[in-house]
Structure 1
Amino acid sequence: MVDLGTAHATIAVTDLDRAKKFYGETLGLSAKEERSDGVVYESGGTWMLVYPSSFAGTNQATCMTFEVSDVDTAVEELAGRGVTFEQYDFPGMKTDARGIAEIQGERGAWFKDPDGNILAVGQRT
């Protein structure tokens, strides 16, 4: 059996400087390392690589969720920093006016980075 370790995300962007402003300033993530292929950020004991690619923003599904202790507080704080939360109305999932949905023991809210990558904040209930 393969011994899989901690997972990390790789997120494609078109403009690395714009992405650094969003992930660093807007989301408040700490840049751990600037590399030739992008920037490594730390979050919650793991890391993610934001890197330039012509395929940025083409994924139409959630690419990463940040686990939070309180979705309401996270949404309020991020909205105050200019983040716009998505509105969804799917079978089995509908967001409220703030963009928060409850799904099978979790509450979550979705937003996009400047390239259209779908990110979320989630809280287990």
Structure 2
Amino acid sequence: MLGSADAVAFLPSTDLDRSRSFFTGTLGLPLLEQTPFACVVRAGTTMLRITLVESLRPQPFTVLGWDVPDLRGTVAALAAAGVPPLRYDGLGQDSDGVWTTPGGDEIAWFADPDGNTLSLTRFAPPVR
């Protein structure tokens, strides 16, 4: 039924101006619309609606992520822009904050200004 429909992603924010600055300025996502209720950006082919909420308790898991071809370059660019990788005790992340899965995928996490956990993944080539 929805197999060919485009998905729309949602993130909560307590400050839309701050979120707009982060998502458009720091992350480089194009702005589609700003209203008093939401800041809407484009993330690849996905519409991302950053929705104003009165209060927020960030979840302890990833709520949005990107598949990136140059994970380490993206992590370095984010760190240079003041967005450090998140580190998790016991996960075995390397000095760049990257965790390599048993299957060879590389993953790094970072937070938006509201504390939402976001991720970057470089998927390993499929084994043939």
Q: TM-score, normalised by structure 1?
A: 0.88
Q: Distance in 2 between matches of 1:113 and 1:30?
A: 16
- The offset of 1:39, in angstroms, is 1.2
The runs of at least 4 consecutive aligned structure 1 residues that moved more than 3 Å come to none
SS of the equivalent of 2:20 reads helix
Instruction: Work out the CA distance in 1 between the residues paired with 2:80 and 2:118.
Output: 17
Secondary structure (helix, strand or coil) at the match of 1:33 reads strand
Shift in alpha-carbon separation, 1:95–1:42, aligned structure 2, 3 A: same
- 1:56 is displaced (CA, Å) by 2.7
Question: Structure 2 stretches of 5 or more lacking a match?
Answer: none
Indicate the residue corresponding to 1:102 in structure 2: 100
In structure 2, give the amino acid aligned to 1:99: G
* Pairs aligned (count): 122
Aligned to 1:94, the other structure's residue is in SS state coil
Instruction: Tell me: CA distance 1:94–1:7, structure 2 relative to 1, closer, same or farther (3 Å).
Output: farther
- Which residue number in structure 2 is paired with residue 118 of structure 1? 117
Partner of 1:19: 19
d(CA) in 2 for partners of 1:98, 1:58 = 24
Structure 1 pair 119–28 and aligned structure 2 pair: CA distance change class (3 A) = same
Structure number having the greater strand percentage: 1
The Cα RMSD (Å) is 1.6
Matched, 1:52 2:52: yes
Task: Tell me which residue corresponds to 1:69.
Answer: 69
Helix, strand or coil for the counterpart of 1:69? coil
1:97 aligned partner, one-letter code = S
Could you tell me the percent identity over the aligned residues? 31
User: What TM-score, normalized to structure 2?
Assistant: 0.86
Summarize the Cα distance change of 1:43–1:73 in structure 2 as closer, same or farther, 3 Å threshold.
Answer: same
Structure 1 unaligned residues grouped into runs of 5+:
none
Q: Deviations over 1:12-63 (max 9, x none)?
A: 0111111111111111111111234201111111110011113434211100
Describe the SS at the equivalent of 2:18: helix
